[in-house]
Structure 1
Amino acid sequence: MKAFFLFFFLFFFSSSFSQDTIDFEAIDSLYREDQFYVGITYNFLNNKPDGVSQNSFSAGFTLGFLRDFPINKNRTFAIAPGLGLTYNNYKDNVVISESNNQISYNIVPSTDFDKNKLGLYFLDLPIEFRWRTSTFDSHKFWRVYTGVKLSYLLQSKSKFVSGPDTIKLSNNPDINKFHYGAYVSAGYNTFNVYAYYGLQDFFKNGNLNGKPLDLKTINIGLMFYIL
Structure 2
Amino acid sequence: MKKTLLLLTALVITKISLGQYGYNDNKGIRLGFTLSPLISVLKPQESGVKRNSAKAGLNFGLIADFPLNETGTYAVASGFQVLIAGSTLKYDAGKGLNAFKANPAEYNMKLTYIEVPLALKLKASADNNIRWWGQFGTYFDFPILGRADVVSLNQSTDKVNILPEMNRINIGWLIGAGAEYPLGGNLVGTAGITYQNGFVDVTRNKKWDDGRINMNSFALRLGIYF
- TM-score when normalising by structure 2: 0.71
Alignment deviations for residues 53-78 of structure 1 (CA, whole Å, 9 cap, x no partner): 32344222111212221111221101
- Cα distance, 1:181 vs. partner? 1.2
Number of residue equivalences = 190
Alignment deviations for residues 155-175 of structure 1 (CA, whole Å, 9 cap, x no partner): 110112469722242034221
Superposition RMSD on alpha carbons, in Å?
3.0
Partner of 2:203: 203
- Cα distance, 1:49 vs. partner? 2.4
Partner of 1:153: 143
Partner of 2:113: 122
Higher Cα Rg, which structure: 1
Change (3 A) 1:29 1:172: closer
* Structure 2 residue matching 1:69: 3-state secondary structure: strand
Q: Confirm or deny that 1:48 pairs with 2:39.
A: no
Partner of 1:215: 213
Match of 2:85 among 76, 83, 88: 88
Aligned letter for 2:169?
F
Change (3 A) 1:73 1:36: same
Match of 1:73 among 70, 73, 76: 70
Inter-partner Cα distance in structure 1 for 2:114 and 2:25: 34
Mean Cα deviation higher: 185-194 or 85-94 = 185-194
Inter-partner Cα distance in structure 2 for 1:63 and 1:141: 22
Match of 2:156 among 149, 162, 166: 166
Partner of 2:10: none
Matches within 5 A, 1:126-141: 126-133=117-124, 138=129, 140-141=130-131
Aligned letter for 2:84?
Y
Inter-partner Cα distance in structure 1 for 2:70 and 2:124: 13
Q: Is contact 2:46-2:210 (8 Å) kept? A: no
Alignment deviations for residues 110-155 of structure 1 (CA, whole Å, 9 cap, x no partner): xxxxx741111111122221111366x94x3201022211111101
* Structure 1 residue matching 2:52: 3-state secondary structure: coil
Whose strand fraction is larger, Structure 1's or Structure 2's?
2
Q: Is contact 2:63-2:77 (8 Å) kept? A: yes
Q: Is contact 1:34-1:66 (8 Å) kept? A: yes
Unmatched tracts of structure 1, length 5 or more: 1-24, 109-114
Q: Is contact 2:65-2:75 (8 Å) kept? A: yes
Unmatched tracts of structure 2, length 5 or more: 1-21, 181-189
Partner of 2:13: none
Inter-partner Cα distance in structure 2 for 1:28 and 1:87: 30
Change (3 A) 1:106 1:224: farther
* Structure 1 residue matching 2:113: 3-state secondary structure: strand
Change (3 A) 1:40 1:134: farther
Of all paired residues, the percent bearing the same amino acid is: 19
- Cα distance, 1:207 vs. partner? 6.5
- Cα distance, 1:192 vs. partner? 1.0
Matches within 5 A, 1:96-107: 96-99=96-99, 104=101, 107=104
Aligned letter for 1:216?
N
Change (3 A) 1:129 1:160: same
Change (3 A) 1:98 1:217: same
